Chains A and B, each alone.
Chain A
Amino acid sequence: MFEQLVDGIFWDIALWVFAIGVLWRILSIFRVRNKPDYSEPRASGLAGAIGANLRRFMPRSEMVSRTRLQFVAGYLFHLGLFALLVFAAPHVLFIEAQTGLSWTAMPYWAFIISAQIAFIGLMLLWIYRIMHPVTRLISDVDDHLAAILTFIVMFTGCMALLGEFNGLRVLHRFMVELWLVYFPFSRLMHAFMFIPSRAFTGAWFGRRGVKA
């Protein structure tokens, strides 16, 4: 019964909540207009927006020594998670079944490495969050909930693949559904909102002729 719900109506609800929620969040943000900028630009704001979106993938050289851990851990986590999400064999099969689209899955050993990289990154970021005085001060419940939920999704996913036990697969999918429902109302929205944020700042600096 629970399996049927998870594979059926729960999944549909989660996807709809995710899609409508994300769309609603984005629309509610852009519904509030920015005031026009009447200053005469020195250079292109659009070029600044695009440039900032690309440049912010790397830390400024002046910041490398002070932010090495966050940078390395952040990349480990996000790259590992991306590899798992898109190239893990069960996910490739699942996406093919849902959409008809298919691509080559990564081998089992690559899955293990990706999972380890993602877990190390996530754990490092979370330990840093609770240990460092700055992140401890500025973090809230949402930060911890998002990290814990993501950890559980990844953990149950690995267990499901390693255990080859259907109950674990159902548990993993259920956790993904919770994650999808939580996503639009949480810090996880940064996965979309970093793009306009970088664009706004890049355009602002770009008009002034400064590379942001």
Chain B
Amino acid sequence: MNDRLTRGIEAMRAQMDSRVMSYMSSCVHCGICAEACLFYTETGDARYTPIYKTEPLRKLWRQEYTFWGKLAASMGLSKKLTEQDLADWEELVYDGCTMCGRCSLVCPVGIDIAYMIRKVKEGLSAAGFSPGDLVEAGRRAVGIGSPMGVTLATLQATIRVQEKETGIKVPMDVEDADYLLLLSSGEIAGFPEFIGSLARIFKATGVSWTISSDYFEATNTGVQLGNSKMATILVERVVAAAGKLKVKYVISPECGHAYSTIRWDAANFIGRPLPFKVVHIMELLDELRRDGRLKTDGVTDERISYHDPCNAGRRGGVLDQPRKLLNMVAPNFVELPETGAMNWCCGGGGGVSTIERANELRLKVFSAKKRQLDAVKVAGLVTACSNCRHMLEDGLEDNEMYDVELLGITELIADHLAEPGG
């Protein structure tokens, strides 16, 4: 057995827990998960069936943890997991799965298939079968602090522009602030107005906040790669930055996987509870609304809808808050068909957006989102994830859906912010 295969097998063996083994022992191969996966429904290619993507892990489980597998192995009759298996599954797992977890909500025996695919990624990553683009993003995340190579100088320049536009000072490295704001590189590079919008909202609502110059990146490429060691390094940086500034809360920005990572996975990566609470920006804004601190003035008359980011919504639990916020400013809000926890993915989550060779496939499966949009005929689509927003922009452009305007929910709220005393 060569080194790559050994590393892959050892990494997957380390993933075997009673949860995985229960799942393996209960799957009846009914194929229902395929009907929930946009990579299958939009391509018709059976290889994209979610449970099929876990085949390397299943093969290992079968040969090492089952009666027939052990018996066959002892007699030299079993087909062992090979390096070629891992190579063959790289494209299926990384390009053909956004880790959206829609399949996990429909399995009749209750298998969380996305949880298992994440574990397959651990094996592929350890064996060196990960897309080069994602590996490079990971290298930049660890080396520079941002998967897109956004440096502190870039952030500072972006903040200066936003300060000039809003006339509000963005607080950097303020000790004992209540909230530490994390940002995704995609936001800084693509939607810098998010920072200005938050500055306006936080000033109006009296929120004590800051950004750390030590570490500001919210995304975690380690999670997308399936590299827990890298993920832990990146989480520790957030913990250190929050600890240095002695904040009570860390705000996850408009980014689905950043939220699910820092809110739900981070403590498990470091093996201890986080020394701060984590809130998604939607949760914080909704709390400010509930407390009567966030007030809006005026509404948009446009017919708009909301795209739930999978990892903030379905796999993160932030489902009601954005709707309550939209209710403040958008009386003509309509739900997409198959919405909330069952929303269709934008097609670019889980690191797929980083993989250039996956672009054609990603745009092909956007047809699921197009179908949803065609059904409601809206003028605007709001979301709470900068990555989704980039992917939606690509998809709308590719499908010549020029009539649908994309909006970030924080900017929409900021645009309708009531003047203090007003």
Interface residues of A (CB under 8 A from B): 25, 28-40, 42-43, 52-53, 56, 59-60, 62-63, 66-67, 70, 74, 129, 132-140, 142-143, 184-185, 187, 189-190, 193-194, 196-202, 204-205, 207-212
Main secondary structure of the interface of B (DSSP, over half): helix
Is there an interface contact between A200 and B106, defined as CB atoms closer than 8 Å?
A: no
Q: How distant is the Cα of A190 from the Cα of B273 in the complex, in angstroms?
A: 35
The smallest C-beta distance from B173 to any residue of chain A, in angstroms, reads 26
With A33-B18, A56-B108, A201-B110: A134-B34 Cβ-Cβ less than 8 Å: yes
Chain A residues with CB under 8 Å of B290's CB are none
Chain B residues with CB under 8 Å of A187's CB are 27-29
A to B contact number (C-beta, < 8 Å):
166
Is there an interface contact between A137 and B267, defined as CB atoms closer than 8 Å?
A: no
Interface stretch, picked from B2-10, B127-135, B309-317, B398-406, is B309-317
Interface stretch, picked from B45-53, B136-144, B174-182, B217-225, is B45-53
Tell me, yes or no, whether B35 is within 8 Å of chain A by CB: yes
Is there an interface contact between A134 and B31, defined as CB atoms closer than 8 Å?
A: yes
The smallest C-beta distance from A199 to any residue of chain B, in angstroms, reads 7
Is there an interface contact between B29 and A138, defined as CB atoms closer than 8 Å?
A: yes
Is there an interface contact between A137 and B52, defined as CB atoms closer than 8 Å?
A: yes
With A34-B17, A190-B27: A212-B104 Cβ-Cβ less than 8 Å: yes
The smallest C-beta distance from B110 to any residue of chain A, in angstroms, reads 3
Is there an interface contact between A199 and B110, defined as CB atoms closer than 8 Å?
A: yes
Question: How many interface residues does B have (CB within 8 Å)?
Answer: 59
Is there an interface contact between A208 and B27, defined as CB atoms closer than 8 Å?
A: no
Is there an interface contact between B110 and A34, defined as CB atoms closer than 8 Å?
A: no
The chain A residue with its CB closest to the CB of B36 is A63
Report which of B112, B264, B272 forms a contact with A201, defined as CB distance below 8 A.
B112
Report which of B25, B51, B265 forms a contact with A189, defined as CB distance below 8 A.
B25
Between-chain CB contacts (< 8 Å), 17 pairs: A25-B25, A32-B18, A34-B18, A35-B268, A37-B268, A38-B270, A70-B32, A134-B34, A187-B27, A189-B25, A190-B27, A193-B26, A198-B109, A205-B105, A205-B315, A209-B319, A210-B315
Q: How distant is the Cα of A207 from the Cα of B16 in the complex, in angstroms?
A: 22
Main secondary structure of the interface of A (DSSP, over half): helix
Report which of B22, B32, B68, B270 forms a contact with A197, defined as CB distance below 8 A.
B22
Report which of B22, B35, B277, B316 forms a contact with A208, defined as CB distance below 8 A.
B316
The chain A residue with its CB closest to the CB of B266 is A39
The smallest C-beta distance from B407 to any residue of chain A, in angstroms, reads 25
| CB-CB nearest 8 A-B residue pairs | A198-B110, A38-B267, A193-B26, A208-B317, A209-B317, A134-B31, A194-B109, A66-B35
Is there an interface contact between B29 and A143, defined as CB atoms closer than 8 Å?
A: yes
Is there an interface contact between A60 and B26, defined as CB atoms closer than 8 Å?
A: no
Is there an interface contact between B109 and A29, defined as CB atoms closer than 8 Å?
A: no
Tell me, yes or no, whether B30 is within 8 Å of chain A by CB: yes
Tell me, yes or no, whether B23 is within 8 Å of chain A by CB: yes
